[in-house]
């Protein structure tokens, strides 16, 4: 009985692991690729397939060359293509028929056709096969890009870390297991996780050091920070809107988490990696940033989500317009929130006694001239805040000019009023001060209520 069991195990192993090789005869001889001579021509091609790829070997009596068809593409009606991206050569298998094609730098072209049966091979032509698959070749680049992505995802799926098994809590309900909308890669100096992929992280808002931690494993985590000290202050005062944007530590191990996280709704974030949303024209219009529409259409780039509810993410990614509307609304609301914080933090200065007559008029005229073509906002007016002219001297103590500070008041396209610190200057020639000109802007633009902004106009 023991001998029988041993015998069965010996004959079973090769059957399970064996990969079928199919030989085809080509309709005409082609260059095998070993050399450029006439002797290099051959009419035999052998194909060894797996579920996701195929090796194909051209050969003659003296040599052979193997190509790695690791990009699998559906050619329709049961025909399947395998392409070697490095050597720009591929095959299409349709039943017993094979077509060998390449890229000559400008187009994809069938070079020769073949068949498992030698007699049938003689009846096939490259022209007929080219016409048959031309429609697929027209969109082949996009299909290859998708095939590359699919191959990458299959490789990542085979090397995925288990989800973290944690039970952390925070008083804001942020803590929990969050799934990525697709597998993401890890690059780390830690050998245990380097080169692997993750399908989920455990988020925990750690109030002790003001960070949002994303646990890749039970002990290894990436960090996110509040978007500036102003946001930490707002959060500590009880305003959860401060969690709207968390900025990543650029040393994060999970590649996509080197970007920031934008909160879309409770338990759901957009990872600002391939695409994300900001605003333009103040806070009035949402603006998608990142890749192009063509990349989105061809799925060469995607929105990446991180959320507790996988079904919710699947729904949004299959209804892109709803996802974009949600992300856009969130970007606008977060912009308005940060504007309000800045306005409360830095009130607009008052006009000084110098804000009279010619100087006030000059400030407005010169600011409007300076802003032309430079500022997106429309300048309403400018006023003087400096109590007097400030004398400017060079390193030898010689007077070279004088300046005075002021405020430029402007409106964004959404009607929001804003202000910015400016300065006017006059140069000194040794006896008199010259013409006034616009000399400086702070570039720090602060929102302000319009009724307050216009009181010195």
Kindly report, residue by residue over 96-151, the tens digit of the pLDDT: 999 999 998 889 999 999 999 999 999 999 999 999 999 999 989 888 888 887 77
Which residue pairs from 108-117 have beta carbons closer than 8 angstroms and sit at least 24 positions apart in sequence?
Answer: 108/137, 108/140, 111/30, 112/26, 112/27, 112/28, 112/30, 113/26, 113/27, 114/24, 114/25, 114/26, 114/27, 114/43, 114/45, 115/24, 115/25, 115/27, 116/22, 116/23, 116/24, 116/25, 117/25
Residue segments in the chain with a per-residue pLDDT below the cut of 70: 1-19, 35-39, 299-300
Dihedrals phi, psi of 197, to nearest 5 degrees = -130, 165
Name the nearest CA neighbour of 288 among 333, 248, 334, 328. 328
pLDDT of res. 36: 59
pLDDT of res. 3: 41
pLDDT of res. 334: 93
C-alpha 113/C-alpha 438 separation (Å) is: 74
Q: At what angle do helices 310-318 and 320-345 cross, to 10 degrees?
A: 110
pLDDT of res. 340: 85
- Does the pTM surpass 0.95? The reply is no
How is residue 312 written in tokens?
A: 């919710």
pLDDT of res. 244: 93
pLDDT of res. 35: 67
Name the nearest CA neighbour of 32 among 49, 55, 57, 54. 57
What are the strands, taking DSSP E only, across 168-298?
A: 176-185, 197-206, 211-215, 221-226, 245-248, 261-265, 268-271, 275-280, 285-290
Q: At what angle do helices 126-138 and 140-157 cross, to 10 degrees?
A: 70
C-alpha 64/C-alpha 45 separation (Å) is: 9
pLDDT digits (tens, 9 = 90+) for 300-314: 678 999 999 999 999
Name the nearest CA neighbour of 270 among 307, 217, 219. 307
In the three-class reduction of DSSP (H, G, I as helix; E, B as strand; rest coil), residue 306 is classed as strand
pLDDT of res. 18: 47
Helices (H), 346-403: 357-371
């Amino acid at each position: 009985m023991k001998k029988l069991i041993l015998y069965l195990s010996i004959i079973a192993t090769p059957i399970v692991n064996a990969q079928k090789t199919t030989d085809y005869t080509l309709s005409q001889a082609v260059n095998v690729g070993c050399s450029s001579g006439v002797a290099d021509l051959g009419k035999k091609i052998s194909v060894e397939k797996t579920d996701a790829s195929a090796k194909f070997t051209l050969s003659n009596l003296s040599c052979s060359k193997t190509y790695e068809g690791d990009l699998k593409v559906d050619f329709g009606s049961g025909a399947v293509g395998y392409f070697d991206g490095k050597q720009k050569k591929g095959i299409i298998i349709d039943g017993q028929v094979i077509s060998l094609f390449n890229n000559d730098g400008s187009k994809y072209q069938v070079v020769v056709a073949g068949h498992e049966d030698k007699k049938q091979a003689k009846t096939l032509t490259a022209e007929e096969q080219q016409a048959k698959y031309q429609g697929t070749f027209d969109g082949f680049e996009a299909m290859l890009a998708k095939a590359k992505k699919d191959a990458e995802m299959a490789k990542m799926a085979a090397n995925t870390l288990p989800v973290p098994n944690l039970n952390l809590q925070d008083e804001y309900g942020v803590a929990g297991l969050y799934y990525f909308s697709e597998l993401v890669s890890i690059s780390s100096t830690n050998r245990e996780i380097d080169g692997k992929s993750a399908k989920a992280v455990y988020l925990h808002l750690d109030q002790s050091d003001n960070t949002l931690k994303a646990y890749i494993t039970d002990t290894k985590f990436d960090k996110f920070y509040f978007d500036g000290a102003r946001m930490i202050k707002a959060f500590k005062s009880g305003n959860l809107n401060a969690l709207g944007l968390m900025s990543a530590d650029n040393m994060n191990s999970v590649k996509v988490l080197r970007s920031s996280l934008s909160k879309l709704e409770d338990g759901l974030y957009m990872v600002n990696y391939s695409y994300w949303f900001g605003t333009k024209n103040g806070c009035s219009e949402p603006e998608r940033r990142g890749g192009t529409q063509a990349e989105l259409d061809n799925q060469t780039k995607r929105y990446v989500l991180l959320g507790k509810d996988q079904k919710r993410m699947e729904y949004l990614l299959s209804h892109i317009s709803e996802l974009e509307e949600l992300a856009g609304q969130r970007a606008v609301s977060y912009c308005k929130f940060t504007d309000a914080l800045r306005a409360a933090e830095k009130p607009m200065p008052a006009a000084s006694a110098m804000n009279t007559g010619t100087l006030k008029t000059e400030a407005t005229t010169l600011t409007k001239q300076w802003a032309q073509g430079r500022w997106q906002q429309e300048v309403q007016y400018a006023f003087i805040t400096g109590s007097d002219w400030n004398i400017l001297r060079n390193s030898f103590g010689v007077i070279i000019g004088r300046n005075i500070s002021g405020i430029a008041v402007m409106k964004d396209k959404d009607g929001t009023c804003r202000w910015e610190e400016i300065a006017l200057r006059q140069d000194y020639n040794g006896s008199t001060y010259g013409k006034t000109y616009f000399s400086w802007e702070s570039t720090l633009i602060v929102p302000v209520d319009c009724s307050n902004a216009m009181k010195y106009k």
